[in-house]
């Protein structure tokens, strides 16, 4: 039992190092509570959250509608297994179909699980049509940390976990010729993130995606979109695919779908889904009544409060402010992204910058070595974003003059 005297950042960090598997190089801060776009640590220090649990808390912390949905469902029915029909699950599946234009939904517990399921569906379809099960992914992609998902990643993530599952290859991102040269009769699907997250916020070109769709159609290969990070209104549309108008055969979701409650989803077309049979896939916890009710409340709040449009408007303003900083800080190489999924590339490693901002009360993230990632809650205010800019400016001044 943790006694009150141990409820400090330092004490909890010490206990974490003692008991938790050391897979995270955590920052030595423990948060006690949050509200909106704000967090407070165990010592009462307040922070503006420009990370949102890595693009998860799209409605911020403890949004009233989400809290009420969880309380109501938890007091009624939390879990029944997928042997039985669940009203919240069916309502959520119907809503996802309505929003996406795809036909079938399978609910999961996480993004990596959604990707694993997407690969299974793609391979089942391919095998039923006389093709192999090869999966083509993109360089600098990130699809999770299970064995199949790291098989689609770089060597750094694979080191020490071999042998890797076979049937995966990687090619340059945004390069249609590379895709064309890689597709063979053994190819089942091409998978990509319309906006690469962990890879440094790289946006797939709209023409590239349209050409990719046409190429996959002509070759009989499926197209899988990983919208785990960029989906659910993050980029200014409910799904990033709406910018290009390209409909994938399969789409994976998670992160922002549940406002912090663990849930993911696989969406697929009827043509592809029809090859799956009873027993081909399953999950114990995925899409249980509590998770589904939480996700449904999240979606209804996002659509009801027009938060996709808000993300586009706020993101445009924020990118403009960041571009303006380049005049004062030539170390900024590029500002890129869509909506409130923004990456600022520097000519130096950004971890010290992230840490300086944290000291000053703003939570951001360093990714891909030299990129500062900003993925705040969609409900963040313009005034809070101004604080983020001011803290970034002060932090850059501190680092460049010290």
Class of residue 329 by CB neighbours under 10 A (exposed 0-12, middle 13-18, buried 19+): middle
Q: How many CA atoms lie within 13 A of 315 on its CB side?
A: 27
The active-site residue, picked from 106, 124, 241, 255, is 255
Instruction: Give the Cα separation of 326 and 41 in Å (integer).
Output: 32
The active-site residue, picked from 106, 142, 225, 261, is 142
Alpha helices, DSSP H only, in 255-378?
A: 270-273, 289-304, 307-325, 351-359
Q: Is 275 helix (H, G, I), strand (E, B) or coil?
A: coil
Instruction: Give the Cα separation of 193 and 126 in Å (integer).
Output: 21
The active-site residue, picked from 225, 226, 261, 314, is 226
142 given a catalytic annotation: yes
Q: How many CB atoms lie within 10 A of CB 215?
A: 16
Nearest C-alpha neighbor of 79 from the set 116, 44, 105, 109? 109
255 given a catalytic annotation: yes
Q: Is 215 helix (H, G, I), strand (E, B) or coil?
A: helix
Query: Are the CB atoms for 231 and 256 separated by under 8 Å?
Result: yes
Active site residues: 142, 226, 255
């Amino acid at each position: 039992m943790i006694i009150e005297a141990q409820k400090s950042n330092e004490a909890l960090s010490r206990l974490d190092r003692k008991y938790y598997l050391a897979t995270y190089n955590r920052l030595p801060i423990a948060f006690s509570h949050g509200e909106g776009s704000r967090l407070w640590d165990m010592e009462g220090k307040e922070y503006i959250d420009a990370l949102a649990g890595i693009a998860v808390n799209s409605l911020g912390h403890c949004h009233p509608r989400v809290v009420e949905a969880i309380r109501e469902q938890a007091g009624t029915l939390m879990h029944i297994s997928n042997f039985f029909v669940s009203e919240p699950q069916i309502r959520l599946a119907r809503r996802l179909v309505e929003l996406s234009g795809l036909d079938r939904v399978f609910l999961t517990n996480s993004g990596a699980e959604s990707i694993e399921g997407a690969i299974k569906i793609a391979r089942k379809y391919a095998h039923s049509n006389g093709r192999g099960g090869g999966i083509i992914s993109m360089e600098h992609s990130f699809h999770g940390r299970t064995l199949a998902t790291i098989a689609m990643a770089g060597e750094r993530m694979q080191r020490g976990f071999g042998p890797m599952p076979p049937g995966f290859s990687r090619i340059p991102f945004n390069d249609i010729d590379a895709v064309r040269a890689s597709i063979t009769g053994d190819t089942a699907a091409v998978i990509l993130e319309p906006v690469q997250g962990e890879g440094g916020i790289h946006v797939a070109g709209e023409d590239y995606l349209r050409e990719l769709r046409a190429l996959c159609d002509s070759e009989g290969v499926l197209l899988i979109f990983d919208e785990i990070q960029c989906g659910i209104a993050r980029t200014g549309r409910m799904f990033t695919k709406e910018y290009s108008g390209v409909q994938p055969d399969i789409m994976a979701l998670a992160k922002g779908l549940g406002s912090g409650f663990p849930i993911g989803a696989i969406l697929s077309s009827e043509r592809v889904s029809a090859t799956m049979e009873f027993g081909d896939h399953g999950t114990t916890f995925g899409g249980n009544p509590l998770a589904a009710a939480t996700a449904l409340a999240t979606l209804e709040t996002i659509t009801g409060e027009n938060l996709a449009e808000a993300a586009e408007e706020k993101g445009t303003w924020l990118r403009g402010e960041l571009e303006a900083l380049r005049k004062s800080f030539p170390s900024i190489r590029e500002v890129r992204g869509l909506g409130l999924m923004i990456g600022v590339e520097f000519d130096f490693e950004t971890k010290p910058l992230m840490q300086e901002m944290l000291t000053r009360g703003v939570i951001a993230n360093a990714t891909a070595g030299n990129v500062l990632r900003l993925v705040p809650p969609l409900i963040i205010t313009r005034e809070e974003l101004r604080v983020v800019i001011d803290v970034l400016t002060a932090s850059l001044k501190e680092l460049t003059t010290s």
